[in-house]
A and B are shown apart, each in its own frame.
Chain A
Amino acid sequence: MNKINILFFATMRDHIGEKRISIDVPGNIQVQELKTILADRYPNAAGALEATLVSINREYAFAEDVIPDGAEVAMFPHVSGG
């Protein structure tokens, strides 16, 4: 079992209804697999989870990237600073 901490920002926080969660997953899963797990848990957020940007340990991450044990994952929409 791996533990993953997930932060949600902006519209993703609104969709999920939480700022941060911690979940146990079976070993080293990929970003795409994590999205599927979350879509099962938060069915109303399934569409948003498809489109979300993802970071692992504060670097952008993509569908096939592997999430290490204890990682800090974040999910958020396209950025709009300035």
Chain B
Amino acid sequence: MTEFPTIFSITEAELDLNELLKQITLPSTGAACFFTGMVRGETHRDGLPPQTEYLEYEAYAPMAEAKMKQVAAEIRERWPTVEGIALVQRIGRLYPLTPTVLIACTAPHRDTGVFEAARYGIDRLKEIVPIWKKEIGPGGETWVEGKYTPKPEE
């Protein structure tokens, strides 16, 4: 059986989406679904200035990469037709318009779960992968906190 590529990393380098696509494309691949998130420069919310100057990301890198590997395994269990998987989080100081995270899945066809698999990947990353961000704006610094509490065996 072909060994399907699984890429997971925490990096300070710029995300190269074309290069990552190459790494998860096989001769049998016919579809890829990419999710990427970027720093939003303007957020309209009550009582707060809308501008974000930048986000400062940090990670517990060895555990984060282990948890990304686990998310990839969960994707393979749920969508066995998925071929390549990439989960990459950029950390450090990131300014508006900059891609910060990439989740990509490839498969022979588009209709066997690549969209759902990529969606699952970003949702799980935000639940269990130990990464944090602080927002810096005109009003000062605010840590962004998630809400999900991992359960035993996660």
Residues of chain A at the chain B interface (Cβ within 8 Å): 7, 9-11, 53, 55, 58-60, 62, 74, 76-82
Within 8 A of A (CB), among B111-154: 122, 125-134, 143-152, 154
Docked complex Cα distance between A81 and B148 (Å): 12
Instruction: Judge whether A80 and B58 touch: CB under 8 Å.
Output: no
- The reply to whether the CB of B25 lies closer than 8 angstroms to some CB of chain A is no
Residues of A within 8 A of B89 (CB): 81-82
Residues in chain A near residue B64, CB distance under 8 A: 81
Decide: A81 and B132 in contact? CB cutoff 8 A: yes
A81 close to B62 (CB less than 8 A): no
Q: A60 vs B148: C-alpha distance in the bound complex, in angstroms?
A: 13
Interface size on B, residues (CB 8 A): 34
- Whether B147 and A9, one on each chain, are in contact in the complex, defined by CB atoms closer than 8 angstroms, is no
List 13 additional contacts besides A81-B126, A82-B37; criterion CB under 8 Å.
Answer: A9-B132, A11-B143, A55-B63, A58-B62, A60-B128, A60-B151, A60-B154, A74-B63, A76-B130, A78-B148, A79-B128, A79-B129, A82-B122
Report A-chain residues with C-beta under 8 Å of the C-beta of B154.
Answer: 60
Contact assessment for A80 and B145 in the assembled complex, using a CB-CB cutoff below 8 Å: yes
Q: How far does the Cβ of B126 sit from chain A's closest Cβ, in whole Å?
A: 5
Total CB contacts across the A-B interface at under 8 A: 80
- Of all A-B residue pairs in the complex, the 7 with the closest CB atoms, nearest first, are A81-B131, A10-B132, A58-B63, A78-B146, A80-B144, A60-B150, A80-B146
Q: Tell me whether A53 and B150 are in contact (CB under 8 A).
A: yes
The interface of chain B, by Cβ under 8 A from chain A, is 37, 57-60, 62-64, 66, 89, 100-101, 122, 125-134, 143-152, 154
Does B101 lie within 8 Å of A77, measured CB to CB? no
Determine how close the nearest CB of chain B comes to the CB of A63; give it in whole angstroms: 11
Q: Which residue of A lies closest to B103 (CB)?
A: A82
- Establish whether residues A78 and B125, one from each chain, have CB atoms under 8 Å apart when the complex forms: no
Asked if A79 and B152 sit within 8 Å, CB to CB, the answer is no
In whole Å, how far is B152's beta carbon from the nearest beta carbon of chain A? 6
> In the complex, which residues of chain A have a beta carbon less than 8 angstroms from the beta carbon of B146?
77-80
Question: Contacts A9-B132, A58-B66 known; A82 to B145 CB distance under 8 Å?
Answer: no
Contact of B100 among A11, A78, A82 (CB under 8 A): A82
B126 touches A82 (CB 8 A): yes
How many whole Å from B24's CB to the nearest CB in chain A? 20
